[in-house]
């Protein structure tokens, strides 16, 4: 069966990101040259050979909207994927989710050891900033803007802060606003970053940056809501041990509070909002709009 334009671009972004990651993590050059071989191997284990690479796709396609340099976009996309992979390595640790499998293979702490997994995550996190700072295709202004935005969205006011709120939620009853805030930080911030980053790579103006940010925030909301819906409807026997984990822990999600029909209707509304945000780009926004639909309707 032939691919849709979105599927073809997602697959292209995955290949481009994988190739750039493999090159960066070979240890021959850049900020990891001379790094210990076992640490680099653990970083490769955590970053290579898996994942949908949705965030890199969003960076590259958002940059394409403005006709940006592709190599520079791949640099920013690869940096973001390093951050995402570090978050997964740390999220899987015994002190957090204590998972044995990730992307169909043993988690980094299972394949190596816990200390190495912590340090491999740290290595991926810091590599990300080295990649943005050293990406020659980016203007100096774009490098500084990307570093500052990535620090905010990945850090204590973004993904890391969201993870803290999520861990605290295991022993608390959150209001809907608190659930929304936690999710916007934990998973939404990096997705919003991805879309805004594309505009920054292209040195687009403030209004265009803000529009892509809003689009990314909507996609982030849809991503989390779809994830919660999958968790709510997961059949542990079919989908495996991880299925329904949040539900098992008694965490309140919006699908748990409002039901499946409400959630599907909300996802449809989010897709419509995403479409409206990209309407000014006409046909050029088609692939990103298809991505928003994919995120809202995903089944894994
Ligand atoms: C540990 C600092 C720190 C942060 C962890 C985002 C996060 C915060 C943890 C991820 C845990 C998790 C599985 C959340 C559910 C939603 C999610 C982010 C899934 C993984 O993202 P995908 O579906 O994964 O894009 P792939 O493997 O395709 O990249």
pLDDT computed for residue 237 by the predictor:
42
Confidence of residue 252 (pLDDT cuts 50, 70, 90): confident
151 lines ligand 1 (CB under 6 A): no
- The yes-or-no verdict on residue 238 having pLDDT over 70 is no
Confidence of residue 247 (pLDDT cuts 50, 70, 90): low
Confidence of residue 235 (pLDDT cuts 50, 70, 90): low
Provide the mean pLDDT of the chain: 94
Torsion angle of the four alpha carbons 80, 227, 256, 244, in this order, in degrees rounded to the nearest 10: -110
187 lines ligand 1 (CB under 6 A): yes
pLDDT computed for residue 179 by the predictor:
93
pLDDT computed for residue 170 by the predictor:
83
Distance 87 CA to ligand 1 centre (A): 7
SS3 content of the chain, % helix, strand, coil (to 5): 75, 0, 25
Confidence of residue 234 (pLDDT cuts 50, 70, 90): confident
91 lines ligand 1 (CB under 6 A): yes
Cβ atoms of residues 66 and 198 within 8 Å? yes
Distance 89 CA to ligand 1 centre (A): 9
Cβ atoms of residues 152 and 131 within 8 Å? no
Give 90-132 pLDDT, tens digit per residue. 999 999 999 999 999 999 999 999 999 999 999 999 999 999 9
pLDDT computed for residue 102 by the predictor:
98
Distance 34 CA to ligand 1 centre (A): 29
Instruction: List the one residue out of 246, 244, 253, 252 whose CA is nearest residue 225.
Output: 253
Confidence of residue 275 (pLDDT cuts 50, 70, 90): very high
pLDDT computed for residue 241 by the predictor:
41
Share of the chain above pLDDT 70, in %: 94
Tell me what the mean pLDDT of segment 160-168 comes to: 95
- The yes-or-no verdict on residue 198 having pLDDT over 60 is yes
- The yes-or-no verdict on residue 243 having pLDDT over 90 is no
C-alpha dist (Å) from residue 64 to 174, 177, 195, 204, 211: 39, 34, 11, 11, 15
Q: Is 242 helix (H, G, I), strand (E, B) or coil?
A: coil
By residue count, the chain amounts to 300
pLDDT computed for residue 211 by the predictor:
98
In this structure, the residue with its CA closest to atom 7 of ligand 1 is 87
Determine the topology of domain 5-297 in CATH.
Answer: Farnesyl Diphosphate Synthase (1.10.600)
| This prediction's pTM | 0.95
54 lines ligand 1 (CB under 6 A): yes
> Sign of torsion, CA 278 211 198 42?
negative
Pairwise pLDDT comparison (234 vs 34), residue with the higher score: 34
């Amino acid at each position: 069966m032939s691919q849709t334009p979105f599927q073809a671009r997602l697959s292209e972004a995955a290949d481009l990101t994988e190739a750039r990651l493999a090159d960066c993590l070979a240890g021959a050059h850049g900020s990891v040259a001379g790094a210990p071989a076992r640490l680099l191997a653990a970083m490769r284990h955590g970053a290579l050979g898996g994942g949908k690479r949705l965030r890199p796709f969003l960076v590259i396609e958002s940059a394409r909207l403005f006709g940006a340099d592709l190599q520079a976009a791949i640099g920013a996309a690869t940096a973001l994927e390093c951050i995402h992979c570090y978050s997964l390595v740390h999220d899987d640790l015994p002190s957090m989710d204590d998972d044995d499998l990730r992307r169909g293979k043993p988690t980094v702490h299972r394949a190596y050891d816990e200390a190495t997994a912590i340090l491999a995550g740290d290595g991926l996190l810091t590599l990300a900033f080295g990649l943005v700072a050293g990406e020659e295709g980016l203007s100096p202004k774009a490098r500084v803007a990307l570093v500052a935005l990535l620090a905010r969205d990945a850090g204590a006011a973004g993904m890391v802060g969201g993870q803290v709120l999520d861990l605290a939620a295991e022993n608390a009853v959150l209001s809907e606003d608190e659930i929304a805030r936690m999710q916007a930080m934990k998973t939404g911030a990096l997705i919003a970053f991805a879309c805004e980053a594309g505009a920054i790579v292209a040195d687009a103006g403030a209004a265009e940056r803000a529009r892509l940010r809003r689009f990314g925030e909507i996609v982030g909301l849809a991503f989390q809501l779809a994830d919660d819906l999958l968790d709510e409807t997961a059949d542990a026997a079919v989908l495996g041990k991880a299925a329904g984990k949040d539900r098992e822990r008694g965490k309140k999600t919006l699908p748990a509070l409002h039901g499946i029909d409400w959630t599907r209707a909300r996802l449809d509304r989010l897709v419509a909002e995403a479409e409206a945000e990209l309407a000014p780009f006409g046909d050029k926004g088609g692939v990103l709009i298809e991505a928003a639909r994919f995120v809202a309707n995903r089944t894994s």
